[in-house]
């Protein structure tokens, strides 16, 4: 087979480097300083989300079956109220880097949330890794850990915003060739750490000629992220850093969906977030990347676009393949944490103490 008909997984996963796109404008304020919760006053919300709208308003939704009233607070004042289930639109707030909301129940602990997307000119998939509920009713703290696509197109205004948001370390999951062709722009004062998931010996696949082959390549590639030697070393670097200090951390690859997607799936699973929520977070890259992906596919001949699309997508079977590999190679996620990520039980507890509230 000629070299032209073979492709490394790294090349496939960085294919999205040709994509361009601008994050949808959204008014997004100072990072939350909300840290560890009190178990005796559990957060009563079973679901809650903040979504910034294109017109500058915010939709806030929640479910808290055990309470009678919820006050929605922003910038130190109550901006809406509702019952145990609510959906409100909040308007008239000043433009800010990031708009935070406190959902204050009449009993139990408040929940602090913002829109997940960080609106930047130079990325389309920069989002908060938190804001999700765990199996036991705690919540992953927002404003601490972020996941994103490539940072080479950040504007000076973007860099200033990330500095204000408190970004302190940037874990680059990309290969040497990706880093050389599209070097990160890093906010002032932030540490830059290479954590190359695929390495120089990225697995080589036959270049797919059908959509089915492309999908299978992504499924097989996901397994490499779980049990590949480079992957284990890279994700261990990220997780040991998170255990030391889980504030102002970001990790990214090129499209922010595959290597980054597994980092978030592993983190949320370690924190006790249910699999269906982990999957929803993973699949959200399709939504955030929709415009950029559509533009890339539109620029190709139809036959080529059909083969290329599975490599731009995230699909449930891709992530399922990663979790299946965890079971096959390690027997359980707890063993994967220990054997592949280098996390002992004490470190997992510390991660939870740092990143969970309620």
- The catalytic residues are 253
Q: Hunting for tokens 């809650």 — which residue is that? A: 48
Max Cα–Cα distance, the chain, nearest Å: 68
Looking only at the bridges linking them, the beta strands covering 249-252 and 169-172 are: parallel
DSSP 289-308: THHHHHHHHHTS-HHHHHHH
Q: Are 319 and 265 in contact (CB under 8 A)?
A: yes
d(CA 91, CA 213) in angstroms, rounded, equals: 48
- 12 φ, ψ (degrees, to nearest 5): -60, -45
Write out the DSSP string of 8-62. Answer: EHHHHHTGGGG----PPP----PPP------GGG----SEEEEEE-TTS-EEEEE
């Amino acid at each position: 087979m000629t070299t032209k008909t073979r492709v490394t997984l790294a090349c496939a996963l960085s294919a999205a480097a040709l994509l361009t796109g601008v994050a949808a404008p959204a008014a997004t304020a100072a990072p939350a300083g909300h840290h560890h919760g009190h178990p005796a006053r559990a957060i009563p919300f079973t679901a809650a989300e903040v979504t910034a709208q294109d017109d500058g308003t915010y939709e806030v939704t929640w479910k808290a079956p055990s309470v009678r009233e919820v006050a929605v607070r922003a910038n130190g004042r109550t901006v809406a109220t509702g019952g145990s289930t609510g959906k409100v639109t909040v308007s008239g707030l000043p433009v800010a880097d990031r708009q935070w909301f406190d959902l204050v129940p009449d009993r139990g602990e408040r929940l602090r949330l913002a829109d997940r997307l960080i609106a930047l000119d130079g990325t389309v998939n920069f989002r908060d890794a938190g804001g999700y509920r765990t199996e036991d009713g705690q919540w992953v703290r927002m404003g601490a850990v972020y996941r994103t696509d490539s940072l080479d197109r950040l504007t000076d205004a973007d860099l200033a915003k990330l500095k204000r948001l408190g970004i302190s370390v940037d874990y680059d999951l990309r290969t040497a060739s990706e880093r050389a062709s599209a070097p990160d722009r890093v906010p002032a004062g932030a540490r830059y750490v290479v954590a190359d998931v695929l390495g120089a010996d990225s697995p080589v696949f036959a270049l797919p000629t059908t959509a089915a082959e492309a999908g299978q390549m992504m499924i097989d590639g996901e397994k490499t992220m779980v049990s590949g030697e480079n992957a284990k070393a890279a994700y261990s670097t990220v997780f040991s850093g998170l255990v030391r200090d889980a504030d102002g951390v970001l990790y990214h690859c090129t499209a922010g969906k595959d290597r980054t997607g597994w980092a978030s799936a592993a983190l949320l699973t370690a924190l006790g977030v249910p699999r269906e929520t982990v999957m929803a977070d993973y699949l959200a890259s399709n939504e955030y990347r929709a415009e950029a992906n559509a533009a890339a596919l539109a620029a190709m001949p139809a036959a080529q676009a059909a083969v290329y699309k599975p490599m731009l997508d995230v699909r449930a079977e891709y992530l399922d393949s990663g979790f299946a590999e965890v079971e096959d190679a390690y027997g359980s996620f707890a063993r994967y944490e220990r054997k592949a990520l280098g996390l002992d039980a004490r470190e997992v507890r510390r991660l939870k103490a740092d990143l969970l509230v309620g």
